[in-house]
Amino acid sequence: MERLTVKGLVLRETPVGDNDKLLTLLTAERGKMTVSGRGVRSLRSRHMASTQQFCYASYTLVKSKSIYPYISDSELIESFFGLRGNIERLAFASYVCEVADHVSVEENGDVDLLRLVLNTLYAASAGKKQIALIKAAFELRCVAVLGMCPDLSCCSVCGVKEAQLFYLDIFEGNLVCPDCMERRPSAEKDADGDGSSYQPRGGYQRPVSIVTPEILNAMRYAIGSDIAKFLSFTLTDDALISFGDIAERYLLHQLGCSFRTLEFYKSLSVHD
């Protein structure tokens, strides 16, 4: 029987029978993996602590004739214990893991995605940063890791790099300056007149978001900095609200889906 050792984060756990589990792991070497935890739900199991959701551990796996390899040994590395004492942190961590589960691929290692998720959970567990800021930065960095990064370098029409504000085209993932918005042949404000959408060539409403210099700098930092430092910035309260809205809208559009855990997180109506 083949044995292999991997370090993985438990994204999801599914009870099987009385004492077993199926675990969905995110690993650097093999991407997403489904493994069997035999007897790990038993209070007497030595693997109980390392087979909970959000746990990061080293697992020795045995490939047998069964569909999934099973855990023969494990050593807990990090439990992110701080997540479990706060409902907002717990709900957010569940959302992070659901996103990671959705975007990760089996047998396709992704070191950057794993590092991003681990750093995000660590920050949420530590409780030193606002969850709203962590969430938005995670969403933007996630799309960047997946190769869906918005072009934040300059106006996509005229090339200007600095302006009092830009519009971010959520569909196209690029910036448009106010002057170019006004010069577009079919450009129109939305019904509310707040510039949250415009009418491009083609005749349909395309969503955009207003991006101030403060928000633009935060977006560029969250996307372009080292993953270990991608949360090392602050925003004013008003800017953080807009930053969060932009990041969430962009992620959901790029992935083309919704997340049950996100809806639960938002239903809590908890704000730092």
102 in the same domain as 193: yes
Which position has the higher pLDDT, 197 or 91?
91
Q: What is the CATH number of the domain that holds 37?
A: 2.40.50.140
162 in the same domain as 87: yes
Order of strands across the sheet with 166-169?
A: 151-155, 174-176, 166-169, 206-211, 197-198
pLDDT at 197 over 80: no
Q: How confident is the model at residue 201 (pLDDT cuts 50, 70, 90)?
A: very low
Q: Which H or E run includes 251?
A: helix 237-255
- Averaged pLDDT, 159-166: 93
Q: For the whole model, what pTM was predicted?
A: 0.90
Domain count, the chain: 2
Strands 151-155 and 174-176 turn out to be parallel
Full domain range(s) for residue 13: 2-79
Output the six-digit token pair for 154: 């300059």
183 in the same domain as 72: no
Q: What is the CATH number of the domain that holds 155?
A: 1.20.1440.120
133 in the same domain as 174: yes
Q: How confident is the model at residue 216 (pLDDT cuts 50, 70, 90)?
A: very high
How far is residue 1's CA from residue 62's CA, in Å, rounded to a whole number?
7
Q: Among 140-149, 194-203, 219-228, where is mean pLDDT lowest?
A: 194-203
Place of tokens 């996307």: 223
pLDDT at 175 over 80: yes
Q: Are 129 and 153 in contact (CB under 8 A)?
A: no
**1: nearest Cα among 68, 59, 60, 62:** 62
pLDDT, tens digit (0-9, with 9 covering 90-100), for 223-254 = 999 999 999 999 999 999 999 999 999 999 99
109 in the same domain as 51: no
- Averaged pLDDT, 105-133: 95
pLDDT of the residue at 184? 62
How far is residue 199's CA from residue 14's CA, in Å, rounded to a whole number?
46
Place of tokens 């971010």: 168
pLDDT of the residue at 55? 98
Q: Where is the domain boundary, 28, 46, 79?
A: 79
pLDDT of the residue at 204? 31
